[in-house]
Amino acid sequence: MRILLIEDEKKVAEFVARGLRAERFAVDISNNGQSGWEMASAYNYDLLILDLMLPGLGGTEVLKRIRRQKSQVPVLVLTARDGTSEKVENFEAGADDYLTKPFAFAELLVRVKALLRRGTTDRSSVLRVGDLEVDRLAQQVRRAGKRIELTSKEYSLLEYLVANAGRVLSRTMIIEHVWDESFEGLTNIVDVYVRHLRSKVDVLHPCKLIRTVRGVGYSVSDEPET
């Protein structure tokens, strides 16, 4: 599941992102309303966490624009204010839930999961490539019906590859998505994790789903290899 966090307070953004990533969510951060709005319109997020007091374009305006585009993405509003009239205004603008700062991460997580469950009742949470299934809500992986146990990072990497099945993803794209932006290790970390994934997902099966695209990166596909 991919979450966009629009929050200008660096400490809050890092705290929330770290916690969500530990729960296997992929998190993109925007620190202002304009770029947040652009990211929300450009990518297909599963959930938005939106601060109200933002430099430039305010959170309520971001929310209104998103809804004007007919986007149904669940939006959890985060704010330091707790005035009733403001809550009403934001619910009317299309917020799905509201959390007042300061908050405990556990409460944020419960609300995020509830919103994601609601959002996926009418569309399947299961991604499929060939006989591989990734249930994004339960965070479970099966191949040919058999459950595969993955570590947190392995799961995030596989979910990203499968969600983009058929597309080639560069090591840089994978690192930006699966690891923190602050990650400064070597890009061969991706190769190491792909090796782990192959040993769990592909090794027992004649059709290898995880493909190396030489000089570029990786992709997942069940098309016959050329």
User: Applying CB under 5 A, which residues contact Ca ion?
Assistant: 8, 51, 53
Nearest residue to Ca ion on Cβ basis: 53
CB-wise, 32 or 125, nearer to Ca ion? 32
User: CA-based diameter of the chain, in Å?
Assistant: 61
CB-wise, 101 or 196, nearer to Ca ion? 101
**Strands laid side by side in the 217-220 sheet:** 169-170, 217-220, 210-213
Contact 92, 63 (CB under 8 A): no
- Residue 177's nearest CA partner among 186, 166, 167, 190 is 190
CA angle (136 as vertex; 104, 116 as ends), nearest 5: 45
Q: Determine the 3-state secondary structure of 75 from DSSP.
A: strand
CB-wise, 9 or 131, nearer to Ca ion? 9
CB-wise, 7 or 159, nearer to Ca ion? 7
Contact 79, 101 (CB under 8 A): yes
Give the whole-angstrom CA distance, residue 49 versus residue 35.
14
Smallest distance from the beta carbon of 123 to Ca ion, in angstroms? Answer: 32
CB-wise, 30 or 219, nearer to Ca ion? 30
Q: Determine the 3-state secondary structure of 217 from DSSP.
A: strand
Smallest distance from the beta carbon of 7 to Ca ion, in angstroms? Answer: 6
Smallest distance from the beta carbon of 9 to Ca ion, in angstroms? Answer: 5
Which two structure tokens, joined as six digits, stand for 72?
Answer: 């149904």
How does DSSP classify residue 131? T
How does DSSP classify residue 189? H
CB-wise, 53 or 189, nearer to Ca ion? 53
